[in-house]
């Protein structure tokens, strides 16, 4: 019954079939562990992969991701309520990031770039090396914005992330996960006050929230690793745009797919309350698992 109501809700919202994480690779298996909030399990998988092939750049960037998201969880940044409130996102008060974790993350960025450059020197179109570069760049941007609170400094890093993403999207076939970067940047720029947008120029970014959602939908439906994360971001956007019934449908699916993730369950419980109080007549909140 729960699966049927989820399918009905997603059809009502115009969603296609959601992508499952590709677990044919060690990196994909590590991403599943991260989506379950099993960060030690993700590190164990990646450490074995690095021991087998230390020249592969992708495990280093995924390992940096595991450190980064565990740090965001420790700092209480991952809750959707944090991203709904712009004052919290741009609050300049310093957090207390773990300096040892920061050193590990940035060392992994260095290793990613070092090994990616070596591979790309031999094969310029190496998809996994390009993706590893893009992931490291995106994580560095997010660390600057969310942990170090360098809002404007992060925009210069975002330009680099966008450049890496566009390279991935120019491949044949495109590396669909790269739409996560373009969609995120598009939404952030679109959320800026009008006068600030004049000072932010990023290649192929218009500041359109509609385009942002389309980019994220592509990842949700076709991404190799980032599909569930795209659904998280889409649920945040739905909450910011006062459509909690859409967020409820997305979070219901995530809870079903990753039942061990405590954050997804807490966010679903919170969002259900919002959906009950704000759903318009005919909205799909009633089909989202209640």
pLDDT of residue 188: 80
Say if 132 falls within a structural domain.
Answer: yes
Say if 83 falls within a structural domain.
Answer: yes
Say if 85 falls within a structural domain.
Answer: yes
Calculate what percentage of the chain has a pLDDT beyond 90: 62
State pLDDT tens for residues 111-169.
999 999 999 999 999 999 999 999 999 999 989 888 887 765 566 778 888 899 999 99
Say if 133 falls within a structural domain.
Answer: yes
State pLDDT tens for residues 238-257.
998 889 999 999 999 999 99
Please state the rounded mean pLDDT for residues 262-268. Answer: 93
Say if 251 falls within a structural domain.
Answer: no
State pLDDT tens for residues 88-103.
444 445 668 899 999 9
Say if 15 falls within a structural domain.
Answer: no
Say if 56 falls within a structural domain.
Answer: yes
Band the pLDDT of 84: cuts 50, 70, 90: low
Domain span including residue 55: 23-151
When divided into structural domains, the chain yields a total of 1
Say if 130 falls within a structural domain.
Answer: yes
Mean pLDDT over the full length of the chain: 84
Higher per-residue confidence, 243 vs 16: 243
DSSP string, the chain: -HHHHHHHHHHHTT--PPPPP-TTSHHHHHHHHHHTT-HHHHHHHHHHHHHH-TT-SHHHHHHHHHHHHHHHHHTT--SHHHHH-HHHHH--S-----HHHHHHHHHHHHHHHHHHHHHHHH-TT-HHHHHHHHHHHHHHHHIIIIIS--TTHHHHHHHHHHHHHHHHHTSSS--GGGHHHHHHHHHHHHTS-HHHHTT---TT----HHHHHHHHHHHHHH-SS-HHHHHHHHHHHHHHTT-HHHHHHHHHHHHHH-TT-HHHHHHHHHHHHHHHHHPPTT-GGGGS--
pLDDT of residue 196: 55
């Amino acid at each position: 019954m729960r699966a049927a109501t989820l399918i009905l809700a997603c059809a009502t919202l115009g969603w296609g079939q959601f992508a499952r994480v590709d677990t044919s690779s060690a990196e994909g298996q590590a991403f599943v562990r991260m989506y379950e909030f099993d960060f030690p399990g993700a590190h164990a998988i990646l450490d074995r992969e690095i021991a087998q092939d230390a020249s592969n750049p992708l495990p280093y960037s995924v390992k940096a991701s595991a450190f980064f998201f565990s740090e965001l969880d420790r700092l209480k940044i991952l809750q959707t309520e944090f991203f709904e409130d712009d004052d919290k996102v741009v609050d300049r008060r310093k957090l207390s990031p773990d300096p040892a974790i920061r050193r590990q993350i940035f060392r992994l960025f260095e290793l990613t770039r070092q090994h990616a450059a070596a591979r790309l020197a031999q094969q310029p179109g190496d998809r996994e090396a390009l993706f590893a570069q893009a992931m490291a760049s995106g994580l560095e941007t997010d660390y600057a914005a969310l942990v170090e609170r360098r809002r404007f400094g992060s925009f210069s890093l975002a330009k680099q992330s966008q450049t890496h993403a566009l390279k991935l999207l120019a491949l044949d076939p495109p590396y669909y996960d790269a739409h996560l970067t373009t969609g995120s940047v598009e939404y952030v720029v679109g959320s800026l006050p009008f006068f600030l947008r004049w000072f932010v120029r990023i290649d192929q970014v218009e500041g359109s929230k509609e385009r942002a959602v389309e980019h994220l939908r592509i990842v949700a439906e076709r991404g190799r690793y980032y599909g569930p994360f795209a659904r998280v971001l889409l649920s945040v956007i739905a909450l910011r745009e006062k459509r909690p019934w859409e967020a409820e449908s997305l979070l219901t699916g995530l809870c079903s797919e990753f039942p061990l993730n405590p954050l997804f369950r807490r966010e679903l419980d919170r969002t259900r309350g919002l959906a009950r109080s704000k759903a318009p007549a005919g909205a799909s909140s009633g089909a989202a698992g209640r």
